[in-house]
Amino acid sequence: MKKHPPQREINLFRSLKSVIRCEQASSQCFPRVLMRGTLLDGPGDNFATLNEIPDHNVLLGAEVPEERPARDTCRCDNLVNGRHLETLRQEQLEREMRNLRVQRSPLSFPEGRSNQKTILQVKVTPSAILAHSAFMISNYTDQTVLVTGASSGIGSAFAHALAERGAYLVLVARREDRLHNLAEELRTAHGVIVSVISMDLSSPTVAPDLQRAVLERGLRITSLINNAGFGSFGPFIEQELPRLIDEIAVDVTAPVSLSSVFLPDLLKAGNGFLINLASMAAYTPAPRMAVYAASKAFVLNFTEALWAETRDTGVTVFALSPGATNTEFNAVVGTDDATAGARMRTAGQVVATALKHLERRNPGPSVIDGTGNQAGAAVSKLLNRRAIVTAMNRVTDPQRSK
């Protein structure tokens, strides 16, 4: 019996965590591959147009079953502007893939070696490159992303960036009017599906309540961004206990509880991400912001531990640590002293850092936004604890400039 060369795994879409397996170019051994609805049966199929969009759970490179599994039935009460969610999802996938083409072309080998192997390549028109450059890196159109604290700041910037990339969004915050305005803006600009859930993240039952609200809408969360958080500024002894309890609930309890209830869904989907918002404050003690800095240190350590526990599951987990950012943080805190006159980054820059890290080949457990902040974190590791807390005490002292 003629031996075929060993299979060759080729990463066509690296961040899709899928491969196409190619064998010797013959109709006898070339596998039947499902490439987003198009069958490629052998070398004769030199060109195939992606006309059909399969169920989003069918992976690139999967063997074609005799019958496609039935889609989940769309809930009758799950409508967006009078139209079924599944219909809108199908239409968006078709828009995303309209200009995508699959073509097989020969590999080049050194002289004396066989050149009878082929690979599948993707050709994208210039318009598709401009409109869907992120899709070539990560399949955001298959993602249903829940974003907390989405009504402003970094959360809103995440919503804009992910909607531009075709993700389906579930926006969560207390201010329902802002969420609805943002959702309508995203639907109009990007044609994406956006669900809004108004909820107080300081509630002790936020995790089961939010999980129930998601299920009632017939949604399946594949990615989670725990962005919501706030701080307080001033000597610890002067802080009101109810506010500190709420601060811990939003900054610590909510990320832990939401990760607990939604991580099983993320692992089941196997291709999403979990991003927890830490802070530069996580890397040093912060006098006058003692609870906030300690909360963010917890988030950083908690998330990095999850990163290790979820490796090789297909889910990307990491902590994002912004520094001083032009958001409503100081307004909520009640003073600009909270950022100590630091140079402000924009929320868009923070999100760009996060998505760049997400789209890396092997993302690490955490990422710091901005080279200046990265340098500051590196310097803090060189100092002993006494030196670093003494320095931070001067930095956060409101009388420092007087």
Q: 224 by DSSP, 3-state: which?
A: strand
pLDDT at 327: 73
Q: Could you tell me if 233 and 121 lie in one domain?
A: no
Q: Which amino acid is at 203?
A: S
Q: Could you tell me if 113 and 155 lie in one domain?
A: no
- Do residues 98 and 37 lie in contact, with contact meaning Cβ atoms separated by under 8 Å? no
Q: Could you tell me if 192 and 95 lie in one domain?
A: no
- Do residues 192 and 218 lie in contact, with contact meaning Cβ atoms separated by under 8 Å? no
Q: What is the CATH number of the domain that holds 191?
A: 3.40.50.720
Q: Could you tell me if 150 and 217 lie in one domain?
A: yes
Question: Does residue 96 fall inside a structural domain?
Answer: yes
Q: Could you tell me if 202 and 315 lie in one domain?
A: yes
Contacts of 30 (CB under 8 A, 6+ apart): 22, 23, 24, 40, 41, 42, 43
| pLDDT, greater one: 215 or 336 | 215
**Token output for 60:** 């690139």
Question: Does residue 401 fall inside a structural domain?
Answer: no
Q: Could you tell me if 127 and 177 lie in one domain?
A: no
Measured in Å, how far apart are the chain's first and last C-alpha atoms?
Answer: 88
Domain termination site, one of 83, 105, 131: 131
- Do residues 138 and 359 lie in contact, with contact meaning Cβ atoms separated by under 8 Å? yes
Q: Could you tell me if 146 and 224 lie in one domain?
A: yes
Question: Does residue 125 fall inside a structural domain?
Answer: yes
Question: Does residue 400 fall inside a structural domain?
Answer: no
CA distances from 333 to 164, 251, 258, 320, 336 (A): 31, 14, 24, 21, 8
Question: Does residue 1 fall inside a structural domain?
Answer: no
What does the alpha-carbon distance between residue 233 and residue 267 come to, in Å, rounded to a whole number? Answer: 38
What does the alpha-carbon distance between residue 32 and residue 27 come to, in Å, rounded to a whole number? Answer: 10
- Output the furthest CA–CA distance in the chain (Å, rounded): 88
Question: Does residue 3 fall inside a structural domain?
Answer: no
Single pTM value for the model: 0.67
Q: Could you tell me if 148 and 122 lie in one domain?
A: no
Question: Does residue 84 fall inside a structural domain?
Answer: yes
Q: How many CA atoms lie within 13 A of 157 on its CB side?
A: 19
Contacts of 111 (CB under 8 A, 6+ apart): none
Domain, as residue range, for 368: 138-395
- Catalytic, out of 140, 168, 283, 292: 292
Q: Could you tell me if 177 and 286 lie in one domain?
A: yes
pLDDT band at 62 (very low <50, low <70, confident <90, very high): very low
What does the alpha-carbon distance between residue 100 and residue 50 come to, in Å, rounded to a whole number? Answer: 7
pLDDT at 195: 97
Q: Could you tell me if 14 and 98 lie in one domain?
A: yes
Q: Which amino acid is at 132?
A: H
pLDDT at 40: 37
Domain termination site, one of 84, 104, 131: 131
What does the alpha-carbon distance between residue 266 and residue 276 come to, in Å, rounded to a whole number? Answer: 14
Instruction: Give me the number of domains the chain comprises.
Output: 2
Angle at alpha carbon of residue 165, lines to 143 and 187, rounded to 5°: 90
Question: Does residue 231 fall inside a structural domain?
Answer: yes
- pLDDT tens, 195-239? 999 999 999 999 999 999 999 999 999 999 999 999 899 999 999
pLDDT at residue 252 tops 70: yes
Q: 76 by DSSP, 3-state: which?
A: coil
Domain termination site, one of 131, 148, 174: 131
Q: Could you tell me if 149 and 96 lie in one domain?
A: no
Contacts of 278 (CB under 8 A, 6+ apart): 296, 297, 299, 300, 303, 319, 320, 321, 366
Range with the lowest mean pLDDT among 37-46, 139-148, 158-167, 209-218?
Answer: 37-46
**Is residue 292 annotated as a catalytic residue, yes or no?**
yes
Q: Could you tell me if 116 and 156 lie in one domain?
A: no
pLDDT at residue 385 tops 90: yes
